[in-house]
Structure 1
Amino acid sequence: MRASKVVAAIDFGTHGTGFAYTLVTPDNDDPRTRQMVSRYDWPKAPVRGAKTLSAVVVDRDLQPVAWGYEAAELWQLNSPARREDLGLHGYASAFKAALSSRAELRAMARSEGIVDLGSDRTLGRLIPSILRYMRDQTVAALGALDLRLTAEDIRWCLTVPAVWTDAQKLGLRRAAEEAGLGAADTIFVVTEPEAAAVYGILDADKGSARAVSRIGEHRFMVVDCGATTEISAFSGVFDDGKVRLAEIGAGGAGVALGAPDVNRAFRTRLLPRRLSPTLVEHLEREYRDLVSELEGQWEKARPFVAVAPGSGGRPEVVSPVYLDLTRLWPMVPAAVRRRLIEEADGDPRTLMLTAQDTQALLDEVIDPIVRLVRRVCDDLLQEARVGSAPVTAFLVGGFASDDYLHARIQHELGAEARVVRPTDPRLAVLHGAVHLGYNPALVQHVPVPATTPRQQVPARTPRQPESPENRRAVFLSYRRGVSWAMARLVRIDLEQHGFDVFMDVENIDSGRFEPVILTQIESRAHFLLLLEPRSLDRIGNEGDWLHREIAHAIAHGRNVVPLLANGTGMPRAADLPADIATLASFNALTVYHDYFPEAMTKLRGRFLH
């Protein structure tokens, strides 16, 4: 095989996808000074970054019409009739998640129109298409250099989750071959935590040998915070000019929470509460671009909120966030305007989010992440062969850019671990993959004899209980457009306490949805119904699935437990369809945000027995 002139990497992620490349030259042989190029000006992106949204709009033949943020805007801002006129027949985002063996990750995949992410045929079209799009973007960027490259001049490297099997990796290679990246057996595949670990080590103190040797002989973990949070533990050694890694515990640990969950809670819960539910509902229906603009302002401000030690030294958000309401101000009711002006100390056309508002949104997602980091760190410190050697935690991924998340993890680990956030944590996987594609020998996998059993957090695909009397089997029912984030928090808490929780997957079509969902309800002893404002708005509509789930649970004698959140009260029997009117008489549990752990303790101890 002839020598390559370019090494290019594609990081096909759940939330975002991007590329990076470097030229193979003597000047780039030293990884500490290697120059890499990525695209940062993706169309319609709310924040400048190296990735665009993993989203696509397709025509009636499943051929891509637009990608990324541009695709999301094209689909969301056009009515169904206008989409038809434009030849837009389907939309998908986060579709990589559809490949996961973990149910909560598969649930992140979204599709509308003709796109069926449960179909192997559909995924077999979309995945080669997004790789082809990234290949074309890379080639276009290289074209400006006038290198007169051929296909064989580019060595491609792809990233995959640590939990992917050899069969899944082979499938991605074949998709890449179909996309024109070269023969499947010439495409280099690396795991995301492995790439991030290399980037973190080389980035430490500009990648000097001295800095890497300080990490050598230590255990360290890569905390990859993006659309989800995944933690992988390694033993790292710097020996003879090479980084040597051994992964501890196959597959690592993870929680299906990340930055998109914070943004979703901002849009679906905080905005209606601060601007009024009626106004936000109108804006979402008629002016979604204005709501998206507000979300973009929030996303830009969120990583940089001021943080300071609070009670007991725990980091707290101490500065408000100001959002510009100029474009939608004419639609804001007069009474709401007066309140907003007063809250913003007389500043008109401004939505001021207090430090408490911001911290409450962040804590819902960050608290479970911090607990997971704590657990993995404790496991590493308890390894007998490490002794008193410190643990290093590399924070990578887009969410790792948030100062509050960084401060919370640093405070939690204290002196027990060295917390390192690379220069640009968003680039860790992508640029680490380029390093490995340039020199695969940079990492040598060496076996590490474990003195304690390897810990593996199992895939969270729900197991089938043996009988309806399985008292720790729970079905979690919720209105997906309203209670997505809260439902995840409830599920995470219950699973951490040994419960088997099933959350319905929102992109299953009705043909397959019915037997799966109804069977799961029948086979589980407990039926938790999460109710928030607007959860029951469509309960009387024909074909409403929340209605069907509740009715099926009542008809089969499940232990139905309503969970009331964000000020919601129990519905009256007269306001419910006849077949679920008895719901009004069931004992309910109110879940207050500030006392969420206490509510979960009460739920587990009094209601799920």
Structure 2
Amino acid sequence: MFLSVNINISRYFKMAVSLPDALMVAAIDFGTTFSGYAFAMRDELEKDSSKIFAPHWHASDGSLISHKTPTTVLLDNEEKLVDFGFDAETTYAELSENGEHEDHFYFRRFKMMLYDQVRTKKLTVNTTVADIRGRKLQAVKVFAHAIRYLKDHLLNSLKTKGKIVKNDDILWVLTVPAIWDDTAKVFMRKAAQEAGIPGHQLMIALEPEAASIYCKHLPVEKLEGTNTISAFQPGSKYLVLDAGGGTVDITVHEVKPNGHLKELDRASGGDWGGTSVDMAFKSALAEIVTEGMIEGYCQKYTGDYIELFRDFEIKKRKCGKGDNSNSVITLKVPVSFTEGCSETLDADLTTLTNKSRFRDHIIWKADKVRIDLPTFETFFKPACDGIVIHVKDLLQSPKVKGVNKILMVGGFSESDILQEVVRKAFPDCQIIVPQEAGLAVLRGAVLFGYNPKAIDSRIAKYTYGVKMNVEFDQKIHKASKKEVIDGVEYCTDIFDRHVKKDEELIVDEAQAEKSYVPLTRQQKVISFSIYTSTEDDPFYVEGCENIGKFVVSVPVGVEDRSVNVRMIFGRTELTAEARVVKTGEITPAPFELPVEEKI
């Protein structure tokens, strides 16, 4: 409980900004479908900005080689990590074939759970995530297993190559979508710390920002769609379309005279990533053989199910240029799928397909299925439509006037089909696609770690404030909000605004500094509950979202117990500092996730 007594923007103290003088920056791109890491040594990067290294990962059957590995976690019954990535897929498939999989937890594509929880405002420290068989574990622990694996893989790889780097000399950067709210960022920080990354050696990078920074450093020949270096000259404005596996993140940047970037509109996006193409393909199969058969097949023949969709992933990436209306896409079909359909549905796949709308469009031949190109392209339609509609709406905004370039990054942006759709939808825009667009975020995150001030300002996605009490005034306050404390009438649940939605947030500058005092003499701490709102100036916290809290100690036994609090919103993460007026002591106030769901 506390009382707000005044607003003070005169800056009692300056924000202390100091990053570790790291010898190495290591970035972890934790994706919905694939994850990976990259790193750079400071001395090498200062000589050549291209000296950023990322390992290759191999599927056990050799069908897929990638700079990333599937975001798949396999745990034993004691919740200990067994395998991660391609190895987790292979091991679980073997366990499934031997009937030994029921004693294991198998998690895949679980990052989308965070997006869903954020969207429904239900993410807390106790949030759980379900594995492939519906069994649930605490989400932060599952995420921590994945991050720990990638961290240890990097450290072991360095050791094998004879590179001796002390843990204290590494700055870790973890990427998150820009459309995530503060609770999701705190969640990922907590998971990283549980994975053994010290909090003071960890930074959060926003995915489209990282990609934008990376592309600014690329030579022209590595940027398809641009013929001159002017794309990133001072004054240039461009839209960053970061299309990943699960979500599409969109932000708009302007290059400032100092070469740094300024955000022109708040980050936005949706669940139009590459996995929506997979879901459309899965839905098409379900129309033919029923959804129940697909789910049952996934449970019984997990390895073959993974193999089927792995081949789909390969064809999804290759489909595009050079194809024509007579082309077909051929996928390998496991024998277990063909036989399983006949046994379960008492009909072969050709008969079942001929009864569906896919007659003459999908043809089954032995261990292959052939899908005509127009039908295959329809699997991309939900994602492409969502992206195009959103970008068109965004480009109508006065805030982004003058934007005539679209920078496409992220793994899904490597799709020729998506690129062609974007080019046709925006003929007046220059479409820029870097080579290896799927690595732009990862490599850019390394650069961001060395220079986090490459982004000068961001736009507030929400109105931020804290819940507080003020002296009750019957003329303006609800009677239901009145509470008597130490004989004084107070109005509770007041929203005390610190930042307004769409406000420009300068990095490392506090937008407001406010002074608060405890309501009782017995109070030793003040707990600040932080709320967000889509309204400009809410009066009460009702209808607002509680995203967490921070706690500040207050002096006891002194007359002036006021505390000056400032929150800094311009960074990738919300931070707060408190200054005890009487002592002058300045302390950071760690931001904590809410324990319970929103009331």
Counterpart of 1:391 in structure 2 is 404
Identify the structure with the greater strand proportion. Answer: 2
Counterpart of 1:305 in structure 2 is 319
Cα pair 1:44 1:70 within 8 Å, conserved: no
**In structure 2, how many angstroms separate the alpha carbons of the residues matched to 1:253 and 1:426?**
19
- Of 430, 433, 438 in structure 1, the residue corresponding to residue 450 of structure 2 is 438
1:166 CA displacement = 5.3
Cα pair 1:90 1:114 within 8 Å, conserved: no
Alignment TM-score, normalising by the size of structure 2: 0.62
Q: Deviations over 1:70-101 (max 9, x none)?
A: 4355456655993467x425646414633742
1:399 CA displacement = 1.2
1:405 CA displacement = 0.7
**In structure 2, how many angstroms separate the alpha carbons of the residues matched to 1:218 and 1:152?**
39
Which amino acid letter does the alignment assign opposite residue 310 of structure 2?
G
1:247-266 equivalences under 5 Å are 247-250=263-266, 252-266=267-281
Cα pair 1:156 1:188 within 8 Å, conserved: yes
**In structure 2, how many angstroms separate the alpha carbons of the residues matched to 1:282 and 1:275?**
11
Which amino acid letter does the alignment assign opposite residue 202 of structure 1?
H
Structure number with larger C-alpha Rg = 2
**In structure 2, how many angstroms separate the alpha carbons of the residues matched to 1:285 and 1:187?**
38
Query: RMSD of the TM alignment (CA)?
Result: 4.4
Counterpart of 2:309 in structure 1 is 295
**In structure 2, how many angstroms separate the alpha carbons of the residues matched to 1:105 and 1:14?**
19
Q: Deviations over 1:399-440 (max 9, x none)?
A: 11111111001110111x211111111111111101112333
Cα pair 2:34 2:69 within 8 Å, conserved: yes
**In structure 1, how many angstroms separate the alpha carbons of the residues matched to 2:118 and 2:364?**
52
Indicate the SS of the match to 1:56: strand
**In structure 2, how many angstroms separate the alpha carbons of the residues matched to 1:178 and 1:346?**
48
Unaligned stretches of 5+ residues in structure 1: 310-315, 462-511, 520-609
**In structure 2, how many angstroms separate the alpha carbons of the residues matched to 1:305 and 1:112?**
29
Which amino acid letter does the alignment assign opposite residue 78 of structure 2?
D
Counterpart of 2:11 in structure 1 is none
Q: Is 2:334 the counterpart of 1:323?
A: no
**In structure 1, how many angstroms separate the alpha carbons of the residues matched to 2:395 and 2:128?**
27
- Of 183, 186, 208 in structure 1, the residue corresponding to residue 201 of structure 2 is 186
Unaligned stretches of 5+ residues in structure 2: 1-18, 461-500, 505-531, 535-595
**In structure 2, how many angstroms separate the alpha carbons of the residues matched to 1:455 and 1:260?**
33
- Of 144, 152, 166 in structure 1, the residue corresponding to residue 160 of structure 2 is 144
User: Structure 1 residues 352, 440: closer, same or farther in 2, change over 3 A?
Assistant: same
Indicate the SS of the match to 1:37: coil
1:123-162 equivalences under 5 Å are 123-162=139-178
Cα pair 1:195 1:428 within 8 Å, conserved: yes
Counterpart of 1:550 in structure 2 is none
Q: Is 2:73 the counterpart of 1:56?
A: yes
1:199-238 equivalences under 5 Å are 199-203=214-218, 205-206=220-221, 211=229, 214-237=232-255
1:10 CA displacement = 0.7
Which amino acid letter does the alignment assign opposite residue 22 of structure 2?
S
Q: Is 2:136 the counterpart of 1:116?
A: yes
Q: Deviations over 1:545-579 (max 9, x none)?
A: xxxxxxxxxxxxxxxxxxxxxxxxxxxxxxxxxxx
1:63 CA displacement = 2.3
**In structure 2, how many angstroms separate the alpha carbons of the residues matched to 1:109 and 1:204?**
42
Counterpart of 1:197 in structure 2 is 212
Alignment TM-score, normalising by the size of structure 1: 0.61
1:138 CA displacement = 0.7
User: Structure 1 residues 460, 38: closer, same or farther in 2, change over 3 A?
Assistant: farther
**In structure 2, how many angstroms separate the alpha carbons of the residues matched to 1:178 and 1:213?**
41
**In structure 2, how many angstroms separate the alpha carbons of the residues matched to 1:329 and 1:124?**
35
Which amino acid letter does the alignment assign opposite residue 421 of structure 2?
R
- Of 262, 265, 275 in structure 2, the residue corresponding to residue 246 of structure 1 is 262
**In structure 2, how many angstroms separate the alpha carbons of the residues matched to 1:114 and 1:335?**
30
Identity of aligned residues (%): 21
Q: Is 2:367 the counterpart of 1:356?
A: no
Q: Is 2:77 the counterpart of 1:65?
A: no
**In structure 1, how many angstroms separate the alpha carbons of the residues matched to 2:163 and 2:414?**
35
Q: Deviations over 1:99-149 (max 9, x none)?
A: 7421399899643568535xxxx2342233222111101112212321222
Q: Number of matched residues?
A: 437
Counterpart of 1:598 in structure 2 is none
Indicate the SS of the match to 2:327: coil
Relative contact order (C-alpha < 8 Å, sep 6+): which is higher? 2
- Of 26, 30, 35 in structure 2, the residue corresponding to residue 17 of structure 1 is 35
Indicate the SS of the match to 2:272: coil
